[in-house]
């Protein structure tokens, strides 16, 4: 583990240089411990694959004292038993109207679209972190048979709810944004709603599975909860 000030108000903790399940478990445990630890002046603790960034309010910061407190919190997190992570099943409609890249992905891997759907729904995923845009989950666990490069030219507008893959990752677009991931289907669930008590449907460390649904089921569930 490496701790260094990334700016005069943000401390970067790097656990490893590569993504793995065991490294990510450390990130989640440290995020929980640091969030609960009430570091004086800390206003945001952000996770990525193998690192955490703690942003502090602008004030006189005692850099050495903060580093010591952070090391202590992370050490105690490492000793704590890991919490059982919540699992969420995301319904996905793979109808042609939504699955903008399903046929291309199938052709790329020389399998049928039905086999792509079967593989996509067979895996258990982990939310590595939320980033890119509000509520966007970066999911690890995509089967190797589906690893596919990004689009050469990103779309200027990906519809909200699009369930997508890129390289080794899976994700879901909470808003209509530009994006270069390959779109396999669409979920009727609302991934992010700033007016909800819990704005983001998914959180760091959660387990995720996908379940295929029909177009009729999609229309029935649009905007609902899992």
Partner 1 sequence: MNAIHVENPGLLSSVQDAGRPGFASLGVPRGGASDQASLRLLHSLLGNDPAAAAIETTLTGAVFRFGCDAPFALAGAPAEAWVDSAQGSRPVPFYSVLHARAGDSLRILHTTDGVRTYLAIAGSIDTPVAMGSRSTHIAAGFPIAALRAGDQIPISPRTCPCRAIDAGTAADHERAVNRTNLRVRPGPHAPLLPDAFDALLAATFTIGSDSNRAGVRLRADIPVAPHSFSLLTIPTAPGFVQLPPSGQPIILGRDHPTTGGYPVIASIVHADIDAIGQLRPGRPVRFIRVT
Report the candidate in 33, 34, 89, 66 with the shortest Cα–Cα distance to residue 206.
Answer: 89
Please say whether the beta carbons of 50 and 23 come within 8 A: yes
Q: Which of 29, 30, 47, 170 binds partner 1 (CB under 8 A)?
A: 47
| 29, 90, 135, 171: residue in contact with partner 1 (rule CB under 8 A) | 135
Among positions 24, 30, 33, 51, the unique one binding partner 1 when judged by CB under 8 A: 51
The reply on whether position 142 binds partner 1 by CB under 8 A is: no
Candidate residues 85, 133, 168, 190; the one interacting with partner 1 per rule CB under 8 A:
133
Distance, CA of 17 to CA of 51 (rounded, Å) = 9
Query: Using CB under 8 A, which residues numbered 7 to 46 contact partner 1?
Result: 7-10, 12, 14, 17-19, 31, 35, 43-46
Q: Which is nearer to partner 1, 113 or 131 (CB)?
A: 131
184 half-sphere exposure, CB direction, 13 A CA radius: 32
* Residue 14 · residue 51 · CB < 8 Å: yes
Please identify, using beta-carbon distances, which residue of 12 and 111 lies nearer to partner 1. Answer: 12
Q: Between 81 and 120, how does the x/- string for binding to partner 1 read (CB under 8 A)?
A: ----------------------------------------
Asked if 164 and 172 count as a contact pair (C-beta separation under 8 A), the reply is yes
Residue 103 beta carbon to partner 1: minimum distance, rounded to whole angstroms: 28
Helices (H), ranges, the chain: 21-36, 63-79, 102-109, 113-122, 215-221
Binding status of residue 204 toward partner 1 by CB under 8 A: yes
Q: Identify which of residues 177 and 187 has a Cβ nearer to partner 1 in the complex.
A: 177
Give the side-chain half-sphere CA count within 13 A for 180. Answer: 8
Of the pair 102, 200, the CB lying nearest partner 1 is at 200
Residue 53 in contact with partner 1, rule: CB under 8 A: yes
Beta bridge mates, 185: 163
| 49 belongs to the binding site for partner 1 (CB under 8 A) | yes
φ, ψ dihedrals at 2, nearest 5°? -130, 125
Residue 67 in contact with partner 1, rule: CB under 8 A: no
CA nearest 52: which of 80, 30, 73, 25?
30
Query: CA 93 to CA 56: how far, in whole Å?
Result: 42
Q: Does 180 bind partner 1 (CB under 8 A)?
A: no
Interacting residue ranges for partner 1, rule: CB under 8 A:
4, 6-10, 12, 14, 17-19, 31, 35, 43-53, 55, 57-58, 129-136, 138, 174-175, 177, 192, 194-195, 199-200, 203-204
């Amino acid at each position: 583990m490496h701790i260094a000030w990334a700016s005069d108000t943000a401390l970067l903790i790097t656990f490893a240089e590569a993504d793995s399940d065991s490294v990510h478990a450390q990130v989640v445990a440290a995020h929980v411990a640091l969030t609960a630890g009430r570091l004086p002046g800390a206003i945001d603790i952000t996770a990525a694959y193998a690192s955490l960034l703690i942003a502090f309010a602008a004030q006189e910061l005692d850099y050495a004292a903060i580093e010591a407190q952070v090391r202590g919190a992370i050490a105690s997190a490492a000793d704590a038993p890991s919490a059982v992570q919540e699992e969420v099943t995301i319904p996905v409609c793979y109808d042609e109207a939504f699955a903008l890249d399903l046929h291309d992905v199938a052709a790329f891997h020389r399998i049928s679209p039905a086999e792509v759907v079967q593989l996509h729904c067979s895996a258990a995923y982990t939310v590595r972190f939320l980033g890119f845009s509000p509520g966007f989950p970066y999911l690890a666990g995509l089967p190797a048979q589906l690893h596919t490069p990004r689009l050469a030219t990103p779309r200027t507008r990906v519809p909200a709810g699009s369930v997508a893959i890129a390289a080794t990752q899976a994700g879901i677009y909470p808003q209509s944004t530009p994006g270069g991931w390959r779109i396999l289907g669409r979920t009727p669930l609302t991934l992010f709603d700033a007016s909800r008590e819990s704005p983001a449907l998914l959180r760091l460390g959660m387990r995720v599975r996908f379940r295929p649904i029909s177009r009729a089921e999609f229309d029935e569930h649009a905007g609902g909860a899992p």
